[in-house]
Amino acid sequence: MKIGILSLFAILFISGSSYGQTADQRIGIGAHLGISDYYGDLNTQFFNIGTARNQGGITLSYYLNSMFDVAASCTYGGIGFNQTQGPSFSANLFQANAQLRFKFANGMMLSESSKIQPFVFVGAGIADWASVGLNDKFAKATVPQTDLLWSGGLGATYLLLDNWGINYTLLYGYTNGDSKDGYSGFSGGHDQFMIHQLGIVYLIGKVTDSDGDGVSDKKDKCPDTPAGVAVNENGCAEDRDGDGIADHLDKCPDEAGVEALDGCPDSDGDGITDAEDECPEVFGLLSAQGCPDTDGDGITDEDDACPEVAGIDKFDGCPDTDGDGIQDSEDDCPNIAGIKELKGCADTDGDGIADNVDKCPTIPGVDSNMGCPEIAEATKEVFKKALKGIQFESGRDVIKKSSYGILNNVADIMKENPSYKLIIEGHTDSQGDDAKNFTLSEKRALAVKNYLISKGIDGGRLTSRGFGETKPKKATNDTSSGRAENRRVEFTVEF
C-alpha cells in the first residue's frame, strides 16, 4: 500500500500544473478532499496506509507576481493510528495555515500561461486536536488543545478551462505538541502529519485577449498579431528557426536566415540565399551564381586554372599579359608580345634570335655572335695583332710610335663600321705595386682612347677600362714571355 500511495503522488505531481493565476486572474478558490498521514510516538514512518483518515478543506490563493502567490488553507477530518494489538488513538484534526508559494511556471522555468504549473510552499498556522479515544490503559488522557503549526509542501494544478482546474497538494505539518496520541517523549518526537489532497480550483477574473491569439493582453508582448498567426507564450508570432523573423514573414521558417533575404539562410554571407547559391559555403559573387572569383576575371575559382591571377576563357582563366596568344606560363617573355616560334619572345631585328638573348636586338646578327653582326676576319686579325703590337714606354702611359700603325688600322675599322662601339681594356703584369699597376692600366687604356679620338672617332663610341694585373692572359708572370703577354691592350666590339 505504501508503494501505491507513493506512485499516486508521483503521477499527480508530474501531470499537474500550479494555479494558473495571473494579473488577470489574481484570486483562486479551491475545495479538496484527502487523507491524513499520522507520524508520532506510535508510528515513525510516513506513507503508512494504516494511519490514513479522511480530510476535507478549502484554499484561497492570491497572485503576487510571476514568481510567488500567497494562500490560506484549512482542512478538517480524522487523524489516528490503529493496531490490532497495542496502543491506538483516534482524533479529529482542524488545521489552518498561511502559505507563501514559489511557482515554477514563472516565465523562466515554465511558461506562466502553461496548463501545467507546479509549486512548492512554506507556511505557519494552527492545528486543533479534538481527542476521540485511546485504547491503551497506559495512555495519558488528552484534552482538546490548539498547537502551533509549521508547514511546507508541494503541489500542482492542471487547468482544464480558462477558469477551472484540478489540483493536488501534499502538506506536511509539524506541531509544537507531543501528547495528542496519548504519549510523549518517545522516538516519534513532536506530533506530525501529512495531508494528501485532491481538489478543484476556480480562478476569479476574465482573461482579455484583444487579438484572439490565446494569450491575455497583460502577458501579450505583441498584442496586434494578425489573425490566424501561430504565437508563442508571449503572444508574439512563432519563430521556429529562431532567426528573429516571424514564421508568417519568413520564406524559410525552418532554417535560420537573415532579414535581407526574407528569413532564408546565407551561410557564406554573400547576399545570395543558400538555395540559389551554387557555392553556399564560400563567399561569392551574384554574377557567378554565388561562387567566388578571386581574381575577378569572370571565371569562377572552381573552373579557373589560375584562380589568383586574372585570365581569359581561352586559357581556362590563366593570363596572357602581353596578348600574344601564348599564356604566361608558357611564355618566356610574358610582358612583351612575341611569336610562338620563340616561345612568346620578340625578334625586333628579325634575325631569328629572341630579343631577350640578342645582344644586338635592333641590328640583325648571327647566333655565333649572340645576335650581333658577324665581325670580319680582317677586323679580328687587326685586334689580335693589337694585343702585342701596341707598346708603351716602360712604366708610363706614353704610346710608342711603333704602335701608331696598328692604332690607325683600328681607327679605319671604326670609321668603316659606324655601328661599332669599342671597349678598350688595359692590363699589366704583376711586377711592382698592385695599386700603381691598376692606375697605369687605366691611363694606358685612356691613352689609346684619346689617340683614336685624335683620328676622328667619336669619343661616345669608345670606353676605356683598366684592370691592372687582375686578368693575366697567361697563368704565370714568372717568365719574361709570360709577363710580355700579360702587358696588353684588348679591343672588344659592342653594338
**CB within 8 Å of 253: residues ≥ 6 apart:** 239, 240, 241, 247, 263
pLDDT bracket for residue 221 (50, 70, 90): confident
- At residue 124, the 3 state secondary structure works out as strand
pLDDT of residue 215 exceeding 80, the answer is no
Number of H-type helices and E-type strands within the chain: 5, 11
pTM of the model: 0.43
pLDDT in tens, 232-252: 777 787 888 888 888 788 888
Top pLDDT among 104 and 244 is at 104
All structural domains of the chain, each given as residue ranges with its CATH number in brackets, are 2-204 (2.40.160.20), 377-494 (3.30.1330.60)
Q: Which of 457, 446, 381, 383 is nearest to 418 (CA)?
A: 457
pLDDT at 480 over 80: yes
Cell of 348: 625586333
The arithmetic mean of pLDDT across residues 272-300, rounded, is 84
pLDDT of residue 439: 94
Range scoring the smallest mean pLDDT among 160-169, 196-205, 270-279: 270-279
pLDDT in tens, 355-376: 898 888 888 988 888 888 888 8
Which of 214-223, 244-253, 279-288, 454-463 has the largest mean confidence? 454-463
pLDDT for the residue 136? 57
Which tens digit of pLDDT belongs to each residue from 295-324? 888 888 888 889 988 888 888 889 988 889
Q: What is the rounded average pLDDT of the residues 459-463?
A: 94
What confidence category does residue 202 fall into, taking pLDDT thresholds of 50, 70 and 90?
A: very high
Of residues 9 and 315, the one with the higher pLDDT is 315
User: Does residue 18 carry a pLDDT above 50?
Assistant: no
Element (H, E) at 481: helix 480-486
Q: Is the dihedral of CA 356, 362, 364, 370 positive or negative?
A: negative
Output the pLDDT for position 408: 93
pLDDT band at 21 (very low <50, low <70, confident <90, very high): low
Specify the length of the chain in residues.
Answer: 495
Most confident of 6-10, 187-191, 329-333: 329-333
For the segment 12-16, the average pLDDT, to the nearest whole number, is 32
Sort 284 into a burial class: Cβ within 10 Å, 0-12 / 13-18 / 19+. Answer: buried
Mean pLDDT for all residues in the chain: 84
Contact 361, 349 (CB under 8 A): yes
% pLDDT > 70, the chain: 88
| CB distance 234 to 211 below 8 Å | no
Decide if pLDDT at 155 tops 60.
yes
pLDDT confidence of residue 17: 30
pLDDT band, residue 188 (cuts 50/70/90)? low
pLDDT of residue 7: 39
Can you give the pLDDT at residue 210?
Answer: 67
* Between residues 162 and 143, the one the model is more confident about: 162
Q: List the one residue out of 65, 71, 166 whose CA is nearest residue 116.
A: 166
Q: What is the mean pLDDT of residues 2-6?
A: 37
pLDDT tens for each residue of 399-430: 999 999 999 999 999 999 998 999 999 999 88
